[in-house]
Homo-oligomer: A and B are copies of this chain.
């Protein structure tokens, strides 16, 4: 599953700058394997984007062995940004981020035409790949057929590779397996970020797409190790905004087959991960970022800051696992 060369990188300490070049040489399609933080968008107290703090975060992330960054995943509060803000964030991140790191930008909108347009613009602003969330408002009519139509139109038009994105906790919709299998055959669709956490489904998707050049990324650090065990190649993990080195260490242990050490580390990451995702969401993530030396900043309304009780519980979820 894991090529000699990738393992070698970790064994010999190959400089991180090489990573992308190596993996691109291996396959025709872009290799998306690795860990990505889906970065938060720091806001000022007045809820404007704080680009300076964003730059500082990117600078720090550049020193962690991430494969790249995801801009405007669910944790980026992208539904709260204007189209102009979405594009400007991509442009700024690309300027600060080293060329060796992949910039995957969330370009999903509700309509197909808006998604196509956003995809083209984000690629123009420097995105190396786009992450396209399932449209969901009319979820009762988002059949496999409708979703295949949507993603095909987007992938046909996109100047950069497309990664599918299924995040039922936010969309109330899971991209169906049959649609994924079909879409995996598209030459410009390179993989899937699956945030649902159904490991049986993830295993099945990997099994049914193994003849294609199609990879699966875990959408959360909570199940990163079991996802590797069934054949995922990395993860887009909110927790990597906070404990980035540790999530990359978990990746390394999995790639090297050090399963017992991986298990111990995985266990200690579950509660902090749940705290910054399902339990307290973006406000929890941003608070934890502050504790670990990153800029979280305010959330944009209607998202509210944590209550005192929630803050205490968030702290406990990190401290009881010896991270604080």
Instruction: Enumerate chain A interface residues (CB-CB to B < 8 A).
Output: 1, 47, 74, 79-82, 110-114, 135, 137-143, 145-147, 149-150, 153, 169-170, 172, 197-200, 203-204, 206-207, 210, 220, 222-223, 225-227, 229-231, 257, 259-260, 263, 266-268, 270-271, 273-274, 278, 280-283, 300-304
Contact = CB atoms under 8 A, between A and B. Distances in A.
Nearest to A270: B204
30 contacts: A1-B263, A80-B110, A81-B111, A137-B170, A138-B170, A138-B281, A140-B281, A141-B281, A146-B304, A147-B302, A149-B301, A149-B302, A149-B304, A150-B301, A150-B302, A153-B301, A172-B172, A197-B198, A198-B198, A200-B274, A203-B223, A204-B274, A206-B267, A207-B267, A207-B268, A226-B226, A229-B263, A230-B266, A257-B257, A259-B259
Given A111-B302, A113-B301, A137-B170, 10 more contacts: A1-B263, A74-B137, A79-B110, A80-B113, A112-B301, A139-B172, A141-B304, A203-B226, A204-B274, A230-B263
Contacts of A111: 79-81, 300-302
A265 to B, nearest CB: 11
B222 A141 contact: no
Contact of A231 (B223, B227, B263, B280): B263
Main secondary structure of the interface of A (DSSP, over half): helix
A199 B232 CA distance: 14
User: Interface centre among A199, A203, A283, by most B CB within 10 Å?
Assistant: A199
Nearest to A80: B111
A163 B204 CA distance: 29
A179 to B, nearest CB: 12
B197 A220 contact: no
Contacts of A142: 302
A226 B199 contact: yes
Contacts of A270: 200, 203-204, 207
Contacts of A110: 79-80
A200 B222 contact: yes
Contact of A199 (B112, B199, B268): B199
Given A197-B198, A266-B230, A135 B274 contact: no
- Of A114, A141, A271, chain B has the most CB atoms within 10 Å of the CB of A141
A135 B230 contact: no
A19 to B, nearest CB: 23
Contacts of A140: 169, 278, 281
A140 B187 CA distance: 36
B138 A303 contact: yes
